[in-house]
Amino acid sequence: MNPYIQTNDNPDITKERKNASFDVEKFSEFYVGGKRVLAVRREVEKYVEDRKELRDPIPSAFMSREELIDNSMRKMVEMVSHEDMFDITNIEKLSYYASLVHVREVHALSLHYLMFVPVIQSQGTSEQIEKWMTLGLARAISGTYAQTELGHGTNLSKLETTATYDSKTQEFILNTPKISAAKWWPGSLGKFSNHAVVVAILYTNGECKGPHPFVVQIRDTETHKVLPNIKLGDIGPKMGINASDNGYMIFNNLRIPRENMLMKHSKVLPDGKYIKPPHSKLAYGGMVFVRSMMVRDIANHLAIAATIATRYSSVRRQGEITPGKPEVQILDYQTQQLRIFPSIARAIAFRFAGQELRNIFKKVSKQLTQGNAELLPEIHALSSGLKAVVTFEVQQGIEQCRLSCGGHGYSMASAFPELLGFSCASCTYEGDNIVLLLQVAKFLIKSVEKIRSGQGSDLAEICEYLNRKEARNSTLNDFKTYTNYDIVSDIEFVARRQVFRAFNKFEEAKKTMSKEHAWNSSAIEFCKASRWHVKLYIVRNFFKKVDQDAPQEIRPVLKNLARLYAFDLIASAAGNFMENGYMHFEQIQQIKNGFYECLSILRPDAVSVVDGFAINEIELRSVLGRRDGNVYPALLEWAQNSSLNKKEVLAPFEKHIGPMMKKARSML
């Protein structure tokens, strides 16, 4: 039932695959979103595998930054030239195609398609869409999104770049008043974009109207030289994603036409009169779109890490459990399972949450086109919370998987350093995680205020648990009879208590200090509340997805993974559940026993589960996690790509170390 079995594979990994208790292909179909989706993925994989021009000539770990950028640009041009694959009407197919070609790199058109074009589409008038999207989709121009500033990250209201309207010339004047206002970090800005959507503080008729987006040409479309009154450059190497030219930008009285302000929602008339948007949160649509894409995609990086760690642990033999017996597969050690298996469960939980977020976003997008923004605050809070929780836990999970691979996990050959660099960045871009958790908290505050004012029946569906009657104690007796409903109820209790605790602390603090200082003094408790709120959603969605949607033949393995995720969550936060006697020690011990049993049940299926993630070798980009399990000869082959191995004696030795030793020998 595992199609990954082939001849000449490592016998240990073949043995693992023969142990599968479920149909791996059925698992893959459900995991990726359906049989049709899996078929498209396989089509794209075969296409990329068969075309060397779409792949790296050598492992990217052996490339300099200049070589990384050159290779990325080469692949990007090749990628878009294959029109049968580069289909902008099929986002799923296109995004997977791009991910296989570039893997964990960000190419020069990444922000163009992820931010520049979607923002124009969501916030531009029909005339603006016709003008810039036509050019953008034809790749006649290349764009990026410039919001973040050197001294300002996610605090949108405190941006310092100004756009002052001049009614005499009907132009906006863009300025960078001081160094902290320099645009800093936008991908593809440093060297390759010639247009940007710039977020600046709007001033018109002497009044400040807050941040608004403007389309700005920043380079000549023929010569690609920077236009007058603009300074641009690359910000230098980073912890990862170094094929991207993240850049800086400074304006000095740059004039742009009035029509360059994106005016679907807000408008500035020729005389400078400002027309405010019909709904203050309509601008959130673009951010929600990006975060809805992020959650599922970042979850995939944890799936990659878990795949690498699980496969490697099945072929790595070290130590012995029974004295005198051969060395054992390290996957047999319970401590190894503890490091890896929760990440397998989290990867699935996060992917399902990301899929559901995408579904909700599609529903909200349709409502927005009809002028209905009722669900926008709810999905903004959900997308913010999921982005914050998922990116943080993915980063932690990747590190645990790296540690599970010992010294080899430190090598670039493992792919873990690259994965860690990518995941660390995701904790910050598109909203710092702590800031996003506090945005969720503001949504929760409004929900509690509704309950306190007797409007509890008007809560968003995701917050209905806040209005339920408090339970006195958990009803858990035996983990084997601990139902999904019981698990969700217990997590609801802890989440609800934390939300009200944070709210009450905030209300109490407001009695002795300003609202702003009270907010700051309650921020830690609110972050805890937001995390519990989001984790409750993830657990509930995981159970719902398995119980209602999963095919019968793969439901047992998914049920075990869902319970593993929930037991791990509760056991890791035992103090929260034991507080005030809601759970007692024996109940927590039952949770731990259930967790250990889930590890044991998963052990024979572990390799087949990660096979079920359907991650292609190109995307995996790991010697340790290769499908055939033949790790050691592959590591030796990989090492031969090092430029240091091209010459037997290196010049630095002849220049420095050699003379030193020669001198030392002469003195003996």
**Residue 92: its pLDDT value, please?**
83
**Whole-angstrom distance, CA of residue 463 vs CA of residue 455:** 13
Q: Which two tokens stand for residue 141?
A: 């121009």
Which class is domain 284-455+476-609?
Answer: mainly alpha
**Stretch (H or E) spanning 213:** strand 207-217
pLDDT score for 545: 97
pTM, two decimals, is 0.93
* 576 φ, ψ (degrees, to nearest 5): -65, -35
The Cα–Cα gap between 414 and 214 comes to 43
pLDDT in tens, 63-110: 999 999 999 999 999 998 998 888 777 888 888 999 999 998 888 888
Could you please report the per-residue DSSP string of 410-468?
Answer: GSGGGSHHHHHHHHHHHTTTTS-HHHHHHHHHHHHHHHHHHHHTT-GGG--GGGGGGGS
- Within 10 angstroms of residue 374's Cβ, the number of other Cβ atoms is 11
Q: For position 283, what pLDDT does the model report? A: 58
Whether 187 has a binding-site annotation, put simply, is: yes
Closest by Cα among 267, 583, 109 to 101: 109
Token look-up 């220049």 returns 655
The SS3 of residue 93 is helix
Q: Would you state the pLDDT for residue 287? A: 67
Q: Where are the domains of the chain?
A: 117-275, 284-455+476-609
Q: Cβ contacts of residue 538 below 8 Å, gap of 6+?
A: 349, 350, 353, 386, 389
| Separation of alpha carbons 73 and 78, rounded Å | 9
Tokens, residue 7: 């001849």
> Catalytic residue at 430?
yes
221 is in an annotated binding site: no
pLDDT of amino acid 429: 81
Tokens of 461: 């569906």
Residue 286's φ and ψ, nearest 5 degrees, are: -65, -45
Which strand (E) or helix (H) includes residue 211? strand 207-217
> Which two tokens mark 489?
């109820």
CA 613 to chain centre: 17
180 in Cβ contact with 166 (< 8 Å): no
pLDDT value, residue 576: 96
Distance between CA atoms of residues 266 and 250, nearest Å: 25
Q: What 3-state DSSP class applies to 149?
A: strand
Total residue count of the chain as it appears in this document: 668
Q: Which residues pair with 255 in a beta bridge?
A: 173
Decide the pairing of beta strands 171-175 and 254-257: antiparallel
Q: Name 265's Cβ contacts closer than 8 Å, sequence gap at least 6.
A: 123, 277, 278, 279, 282, 283
Q: Which of 16, 393, 430, 619 is catalytic?
A: 430
Fold of the domain built from segment(s) 117-275? Butyryl-CoA Dehydrogenase, subunit A; domain 2 (2.40.110)
Q: Which residues of the chain are modeled with pLDDT < 70? A: 154, 279-287, 289, 368-371, 373
